[in-house]
Amino acid sequence: MIIIGEKINGTIPKVGKAIEERDEAYIRDLAIKQAEAGAHYIDVCAGVAPEQEEEVLLWLMDIVQDAVDTPLCIDSPNPRMIEKVFSRAKKPGIVNSVSAEGDKMEVLYPLIQGTEWQVIALTCDNKGIPSDVDTRVNIARQMIDEAAKYDITPDRIHIDPLVMALSADNQSMIKFLETLKRVKELYPTVKITSGLSNISFSMPLRRVINQHFFCLAIYAGMDSAIMDPLNRHMMATLLATQALLGRDRYCRNFSNAYRKGIIGPKLEERKKK
């Protein structure tokens, strides 16, 4: 599972405050902790007014790249903003995101053409976010076929089927899994990604819903997750599920994560016997 650490996001109140105060140490710490917990990419999302976004994104990118070697996932709804800050990245990461909306693909595909950058592609278009599987698969197909014109192969594309809240659509996860299966039938090397917390919106015990969604999505073959790697419950779900599915030889990853305190009680809370 490719872990995209989501914690450096200005829409999280504490992070928003740290951005406002330009608290470099706070952001740095989040980058290091996520990398240590196993993040393969560090998402940076400014979550501020458009006038400030460029400055804040560059500030975040510089801090993360100074703190860790983990590549970035540049997160902005505005393709021109990603274009503006792109050259500040020291190594190839992930562009988050394109969709079939407006001129996003026209702006972002040429940017990553001929590079090793990957891209997250949301299954929405000018009509919004479809709730049915057919439209999602068609949008995914359209985005992957358009990418081919820029020599961007399917293995560099993470399709994000934009999971709806289960409380709003009882078939939400089923539709996600069906989209995953159908897109992979068409393009076996494409990656499927998702945020893990939308599913439980407005429900009690969100953590339980998120963990079990994750478990089933892993089983179905999800390739990457935009998640909080500091959430020990979520990481335990990931490691336990991989082990149960025979994807963790000798349960080594599970055991190592426990030993390092990534899952289970924090190291400082374990009593010496």
| Contacts to ligand THG by CB under 6 A | 6-7, 9, 12, 45, 75, 96-97, 120, 160, 195, 197-198, 226, 228, 231
Alpha carbons 124 and 98: distance in angstroms, whole number: 9
Q: Closest approach of Cβ 187 to ligand THG, in Å? A: 18
Q: How many C-alpha atoms does 60 have within 13 Å on its Cβ side?
A: 32
The residue number whose beta carbon is nearest to ligand THG equals 195
Nearer to ligand THG, 67 or 227 (CB): 227
Please spell the DSSP secondary structure of 90-145, one letter per residue: SS--EEEEEEESTTHHHHHHHHHTTSS-EEEEEEEETTB---SHHHHHHHHHHHHH
Nearer to ligand THG, 125 or 228 (CB): 228
- Across 257-266, b (16+ Cβ under 10 Å) vs e yields beeebbbeee
- Across 10-32, b (16+ Cβ under 10 Å) vs e yields bebeebeebbeeeeeebbbebbe
Nearer to ligand THG, 4 or 271 (CB): 4
Nearer to ligand THG, 12 or 272 (CB): 12
Q: Closest approach of Cβ 59 to ligand THG, in Å? A: 18
Q: Closest approach of Cβ 246 to ligand THG, in Å? A: 27
Nearer to ligand THG, 178 or 228 (CB): 228
Q: Closest approach of Cβ 12 to ligand THG, in Å? A: 5
Nearer to ligand THG, 28 or 251 (CB): 28
Q: Closest approach of Cβ 46 to ligand THG, in Å? A: 11
Q: Which secondary structure element, helix H or strand E, spans residue 79, and what is its range?
A: helix 79-85
Q: How far is CA 127 from CA 100, 106, 131, in A?
A: 10, 18, 11
CA dihedral 249, 254, 257, 262 (to 10 degrees): 150
Nearer to ligand THG, 65 or 224 (CB): 224
Q: Closest approach of Cβ 15 to ligand THG, in Å? A: 8
Nearer to ligand THG, 269 or 272 (CB): 269
Q: Closest approach of Cβ 120 to ligand THG, in Å? A: 4
Alpha carbons 70 and 133: distance in angstroms, whole number: 34
Q: Which two tokens stand for residue 205?
A: 């015990």
Q: Which residue has the tokens 């709003």?
A: 168
Q: Closest approach of Cβ 215 to ligand THG, in Å? A: 15
